[in-house]
Amino acid sequence: MAMNDVSIYDSGLREECGVFGIYNRDGDNVSRSIYYGLSALQHRGQESCGIAVFDTNGPKRQAAFHKSLGLVNEVFKPEILDSLNGNIGVGHVRYSTTGAVTQENAQPLVLNYMKGTLALAHNGNLVNMAELRHELEYTGAIFHTTIDSEVIAYHIARSRVHTPSVEEAVYESAKKLKGAYSLVIMSPRKLIGVRDPWGLKPLCLGKRGNSYILASESCALTAIDAEFIRDIEPGEIITITPTEIYSDYRLSKQHTGRQARCIFEYIYFARLDSKIDGFNVYDARIRAGSALARSYPVDADLVVGVPDSGLCAAQGYALESGIPFALAFHKNSYMGRTFIKPTQQERESAVKIKLSILESVVKDKRLILVDDSIVRGTTIKNLITMLKQAGALEVHVRISSPPFLYPCYFGTDVPSNQQLIASSMTPEEICADIGADSLGYMKIEHLQAMVPNLPICTACFNADYPMDVSDANPSEEKC
């Protein structure tokens, strides 16, 4: 991981980033709206965050910005928000996977260049980052971060020197990008959103009064009482100006590959109350649990889920099977970001602090335990031990994703093959290792049932990557 310390959920997955942008055409300050939008996206990144704003009636080179390590409510105190005066702005929350967790790598990135000032927030990961970075380095570019977002920003700034508008510079740069990305870009007078032509990363458009918003998830729109208008289309570049909104679809028209939404947005990453590409996340997880129940029925007394992302799939399993759903865990919501030394004993203790067992619920019961994934196997093994110590007679594990066998190159923190338990053990061996009475993974062919007819990426399960990844490095610093 990115730190010397290890999260108590070190065996789980992480999303890299969340982006948010807003343009208030009436000239009102937007910093607090960005704050609340980022707070709603906090699940997408808990290591650093930042806000940058412009006053569209002020000087073009005077962006106000602040970014630091920490959660949104830790970084942005009222006095800091009061100092960020502007009616157009972008924000970012970040989780990194490798390299140092430093303030320099926090976003948004703010660049001053010949044509003015640019601020950029990025979610995703480029598979051709090394090529693009070398292209810039050979012509004298000096980098201040280790993230591919800076590479994108530099290419836009360089293209802007030779193009008539910032949105044209964004298009010329986006043509070079290969990988997953949703971008929110701010110039002194425009707000621009870009979604990769594969559709791997989500981005949506909203409206509140005379303000227009771009965000990674619709839950961020709800947080500021904004109306959801639509999802940004794969390959779309949308530009919001003081007088109009228009879209450029040249990227999507030039795209010759297939579309592939990240299925883990629906399995794990996105918030329950979000709607992405026409599908409610809550409903998708219910359908996942139903598919598990049809594939792996078992006699049991209760269906329970691992908080939080396993709960909906557990409900879906219960509805399909007719076995009652119950809460078996109490989650300590006040731990915040707790990082501990990576010794096995301390990891096990930390899991017990984060989740405690409701003994009266599980005692003398045969349980079906539903979770979203097994990566290294550490967390699920500890939870099974805790349930049996509390008196559970049997624990049958059902997982709402297939086994992880391959790395993700697009911005999801799937570890290397050596760290993936499924790459070195069969399901039967994993079942014995974690102490379960039986184990059933979601079948790859059933993933589509979560989001019918929506093209999805399943590469981390079957190596069916939507693009050539031969030059990619899954350990590169992301967003």
Among candidate residues 315, 311, 318, the one with its CA nearest the CA of residue 297? 318
Which string of b and e fits 322-338 if b means at least 16 CB within 10 Å?
A: ebebbebbeeeeeeeee
* Cβ–Cβ < 8 Å for 382, 369: no
Residue 357 carries which DSSP code? E
The helix (H) or strand (E) run that includes residue 462 is helix 459-462
- 219 is annotated as an active-site residue: no
Closest to 369 (Cα-Cα) out of 311, 290, 450, 330: 311
Instruction: Give the side-chain half-sphere CA count within 13 A for 118.
Output: 27
61 contact partners, CB below 8 Å, separation of at least 6: 112, 116, 117, 188
| Residue 417 exposed, middle or buried by CB count within 10 Å (0-12, 13-18, 19+) | middle
* Cα(318)–Cα(78) distance, integer angstroms: 45
- Alpha carbon distance 288, 316 (integer Å): 7
Contacts of 4 (CB under 8 A, 6+ apart): none
Distances (CA, A) of 110 to 59, 90, 94, 217, 404: 15, 10, 16, 23, 37
As a whole number of angstroms, the distance between CA 359 and CA 431 comes to: 23
Catalytic residue among 17, 49, 219, 408: 17
Residues 173 and 167: beta-carbon distance below 8 Å: no
Q: Catalytic amino acids? A: 17
